[in-house]
Amino acid sequence: MAEVRLSGLTKRFGDTLAVNQVSMNIPNGAFVTLLGPTGAGKTTILRLIAGLEQPDEGDVVIAGRSVVKDTPAQRNVAMVFQQYSLYPHMSVRENLAFPLRSPLLKTPEDEIDRKVAEVAEVLRISHKLANKATNLSGGEMQRVSIGRALVRDPSIYLMDEPLSSLDAKLRSDLRIELKRIQESLGATLLYVTHDQIEAMTMATHVGVLDRGGLVQFGSPREIYENPVNLYVAGRLGQPRINVLPADIFAGAPSGAKTIGLRPEHITQGEGKVSQVRRVEHLGDQTRLHLSLDGHSVVTLSDSHTALEPGDTLAIQPRNPLFFDASGARIS
Amino acid sequence: MSSYSITEPSSRQKWVAGTLVIAYAVITLLPLVWILTTGFKSPVDAIAYPPKVLFEPSLEGYVNLFTTRTRVSPEQLQALPPPATWYEEIVRNRDMVIAGPSRYGERFLNSVIIGFGSTFLSVFLGTLAAYAFSRFKVPLKDDLLFFILSTRMMPPIAVAIPIFLMFRTLGLSDTHLGMILLYTAVNISLAVWLLKGFIDEIPREYEEAALIDGYTRFQAFYKVVLPQAATGIASTAIFCLIFSWNEYAFAVLLTSGTAQTAPPFIPTIIGVGGQDWPAVAAGATLFLVPVMVFTILLRKHLLRGITFGAVRK
């Protein structure tokens, strides 16, 4: 395991700027999540680190050594692809053993057997080792694909939305499993996702990307509580942050254009009067869809609330976030 | 009650389909049956009219195919010791003795060397070229691919005279190497285009995964791409072999002695001692065997679908 540093990383595809001046420090043993919508450059950053793409500018430093001129093999990174990419002509066992048999590692056969058995055990695919790689369910394929990375001891694990194609149950199981494995190995892991729950629950650090640029990098809590701008504030939180004109409530700082209210940033029972439009009972919580001066606002309520559509409810901000005209945070 | 299904054909549909398949099989297989049976007929039965469906099988055609014979007078025949082998006996019944082996075996071997040699070379070069065209930024890629295809746009024999002169100058006339190179040149365009299609369909992620797993580009190519291109390579090899195995015009033009293949040789059998149709048919029958065996051996690779499903599309 090693520290990985990106500095000024830039990659263009034709006229499109896929990655724009990204600098980031991935500490040894960290679980870093890159969060952003499709096309934000998440996957390209992984491919630049892996050596599958050459950067136009900038540097990738693994364990203190620049690797931009190295081949993917020389960089000693492991990668889990979004589309599994299991070698279809091999069995599960051969797939898992493939990286260990590479000219780079040349692992002795008994060691290979031991490691493959170990990883298969952890990922609960031991009973499938003799299967052809094509003869597996989606979840099993993805676990084999993760296993092919885990058999190695690379500088960094790169994972490209490894859970995106799984069903909800399997996804939450594997999420916990992956976090546990990472902690027990002390592995450095860079994990790309557009799922904010994955980003929040697994990561020690979150990097938020927008159109190729790194907007904010910090702990999940920091990103959630102290977003640098409206874009970052909107990436995290479910239900999403409410964005209203700043002057709707009194007390906005000068220069504030919009106010960002997370559902829990709203005190009920005092302040401005709003109309209840819709009540969603989710079991553990209830969401209230309100209308405030024609703006829609979503907040949470007691799960047994007696409020019904048509009722009125006074609301008031509590620790809100203010943003200026450009979307930047005003503190 | 009759049930309706969109996947299961009705018995009437099965009956119609079965009849059509059998009719097609009869039409295509009849010439083959004709050749096969003629090879085992006596010369008289072979030209009988109406054709004999039932006949007394004879190996005379095969004996004649592999031997040269001289006619002897009955007195000379009497003077000879009794025939030592069954094939000598067949020949003696026609008032002849075996003078020596024919050149069929030699020509057949030439066909094997040239056919399989050029097939191997076409597929080998074709795979490498197709991989490069499929994966790398080759300057003028589309133009090069079109140029390669354009070599197929005229019948190869149209350039027979230039090739004849070229071969004579280069000393390639009537050599195995010359014929292998010529057939490879004709087949390579087919090989490149067919294989490029197959390799295009293999997702790049496999190679990328192999690169990251610690392999070099070339290792990724032969450990990951080649096994998955097996289907394409097998079918390309069959097409190449069928062409070079059956090729007649260039073989007549460019070979005579050492490198002559079986196709130009087989018709010459007919001139040796009357119209020996059984020997010609025997030669043709044996000539079919290698291509059939090769196709049957590679048949399992022709089944698509071995790579299906491991990459989510």
Asked if B9 and B17 count as a contact pair (C-beta separation under 8 A), the reply is yes
pLDDT at B307 over 80: no
Asked if the interface predicted TM-score (ipTM) of this complex is over 0.85, the answer is: no
Q: How far apart are CA B109 and CA A46, in angstroms?
A: 56
Strands (E), A63-138: 65-66, 77-80
Q: How many domains does chain B have?
A: 2
Q: What is the DSSP letter of B256?
A: S
pLDDT at A60 over 50: yes
What pLDDT does B4 receive? 65
Best CA proximity match to A211, nearest among A22, A33, A7: A22
Same-domain check for residues B114 and B20: no
Owner of token pair 């927008």: A210
What pLDDT does B312 receive? 42
Q: Report the pLDDT averaged over residues A162-183.
A: 85
Q: How far apart are CA A50 and CA B175, in angstroms?
A: 51
Q: How far apart are CA A196 and CA A34, in angstroms?
A: 10
CA B215 to chain A, closest CA, distance in angstroms equals 6
Domain-located, residue B247: yes
What is the extent of the structural domain holding B143?
Answer: 105-302
Q: How far apart are CA A140 and CA A155, in angstroms?
A: 25
State which residue of chain B sits closest to A87, comparing Cα positions: B206
CATH, domain range A4-234: 3.40.50.300
- Confirm or reject contact between B209 and chain A (CB < 8 A): yes
Residue B264 corresponds to which amino acid?
P
Same-domain check for residues B25 and B148: no
Mean confidence (pLDDT) of chain A: 89
**Chain A residues within 8 Å of chain B (Cβ atoms):** 50-52, 71-73, 76-79, 81-89, 98-99, 102-105, 133-134, 138, 141, 148, 152, 165
Q: What percent of chain A has pLDDT over 90?
A: 49
Q: How far apart are CA A288 and CA A284, in angstroms?
A: 13
Going by pLDDT thresholds of 50, 70 and 90, the confidence category of residue B273 is: low
Domain boundaries, chain A: 4-234, 239-330
Q: In a mutagenesis test of the A interface, which of B213, B219, B224, B304 is the best target, namely the one with the most A β-carbons within 10 Å?
A: B213
Going by pLDDT thresholds of 50, 70 and 90, the confidence category of residue B146 is: very high
Q: For B98-140, write each residue's pLDDT tens digit.
A: 888 989 999 999 999 999 999 999 999 999 999 999 999 899 9
Best CA proximity match to A145, nearest among A184, A94, A104, A96: A96
Same-domain check for residues B17 and B162: no
Q: Report the pLDDT averaged over residues A178-203.
A: 88
Residue A311 dihedral angles phi and psi, to the nearest 5°: -70, 165
Q: Report the pLDDT averaged over residues B263-279.
A: 82
Q: What is the CATH number of the domain that holds B288?
A: 1.10.3720.10
Q: For B152-201, write each residue's pLDDT tens digit.
A: 888 888 889 999 999 999 999 999 999 999 999 999 999 999 999 999 98
Q: What is the DSSP letter of A226?
A: S
Same-domain check for residues B148 and B257: yes
What pLDDT does A106 receive? 87
Q: What is the pTM of this model?
A: 0.80
- Confirm or reject contact between B274 and chain A (CB < 8 A): no
pLDDT at B304 over 80: no
Same-domain check for residues B193 and B296: yes
Q: Report which secondary-structure segment, H or E, holds A37.
A: none
Owner of token pair 């892996």: A50
What pLDDT does B272 receive? 54
Same-domain check for residues B34 and B180: no
What pLDDT does B311 receive? 45
Same-domain check for residues B179 and B263: yes
Strands A312-317 and A266-281: antiparallel
Same-domain check for residues B34 and B173: no
Q: Does domain A239-330 have CATH number 3.40.720.10?
A: no
pLDDT at B2 over 60: no
Domain-located, residue B279: yes
- B211:A134 CB<8 A: no
Strands A77-80 and A156-160: parallel
Same-domain check for residues B168 and B35: no
Buried/exposed code over A162-189 (b: 16+ C-beta within 10 A; e: otherwise): bbbbbeeebbeebbebbbebbeeeebbb
Going by pLDDT thresholds of 50, 70 and 90, the confidence category of residue B313 is: very low
Mean confidence (pLDDT) of chain B: 88
Same-domain check for residues B28 and B109: no
What pLDDT does B83 receive? 85
- Confirm or reject contact between B169 and chain A (CB < 8 A): no
Best CA proximity match to A216, nearest among A65, A300, A327, A95: A327
Buried/exposed code over A270-297 (b: 16+ C-beta within 10 A; e: otherwise): ebeebebeebeeeeeebebbbebeeeeb
